[in-house]
């Protein structure tokens, strides 16, 4: 996972981790999903041709066809901007957001549905644990993982695992945003 290394990546990781670590479980999930949604929108805006008007009716607003988190995830994947593992992770973050934000009975990341979705994120990208541990060390954050292959959920619990996974995925999305090239468009002939 070369996109998850280096001092710049560690700084991004640390910034995102600190941003949500002080929130309640519900607050962290909602803030995390909003950040991911916004970052995907910015990537799409940077990649696509600019709108013909000042307002981007395609991506912005309550009735924008590509305004939902799901639509942005799917379009980013289908345009080749994000890879399948990141798409799957984003869809699982969206599901956690929906569980926590739309159901009063699920206010904690300790909920079994949330825990299983976090486990699925870990399973979808087997090397993410090593990347997180490496990035934690580069960022100067606590690395109490023994490296014996134990699951992050077992080592850190649901909440810290959520914060770590969000920070890693958001770091990857931010790095994509910094390197995205606009779509190559045909030249209009007069």
Per-residue pLDDT band for 1 (boundaries 50, 70, 90) equals very low
- State pTM to two decimals: 0.87
Domains and CATH numbers, the chain: 2-179 (1.20.120.330)
3-state secondary structure of 6: coil
Pick from 131, 158, 159: nearest CA to 147: 131
* 163 exposure class (CB count in 10 Å sphere: 0-12, 13-18, 19+): buried
Per-residue pLDDT band for 167 (boundaries 50, 70, 90) equals very high
Share the mean pLDDT of the chain: 86
Average pLDDT over residues 108-125: 91
Tokens of 23: 């929130």
138 close to 9: Cβ distance less than 8 angstroms: yes
């Amino acid at each position: 996972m070369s996109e998850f290394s280096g001092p710049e990546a560690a700084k991004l990781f640390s910034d995102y981790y600190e941003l949500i670590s002080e929130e309640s479980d519900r607050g962290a999930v909602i803030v995390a999903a909003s950040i991911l949604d916004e970052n995907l929108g910015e990537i799409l805006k940077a990649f696509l041709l600019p709108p013909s008007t000042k307002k981007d009716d395609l991506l912005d607003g309550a009735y924008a066809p590509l305004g939902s988190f799901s639509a942005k995830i799917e379009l980013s994947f289908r345009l080749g901007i994000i890879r399948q593992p990141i798409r799957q992770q984003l869809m699982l973050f969206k599901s956690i957001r929906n569980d926590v934000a739309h159901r009063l009975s699920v206010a904690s990341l300790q909920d079994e549905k949330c825990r299983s979705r976090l486990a699925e994120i870990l399973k979808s990208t087997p090397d993410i644990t090593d990347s997180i541990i490496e990035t934690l060390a580069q960022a100067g954050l606590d690395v109490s993982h023994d490296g014996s292959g134990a699951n992050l959920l077992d080592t850190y619990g649901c909440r810290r695992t959520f914060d770590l996974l969000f920070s890693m995925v958001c770091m990857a999305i931010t790095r994509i945003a910094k390197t995205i090239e606009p779509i190559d468009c045909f030249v209009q002939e007069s």
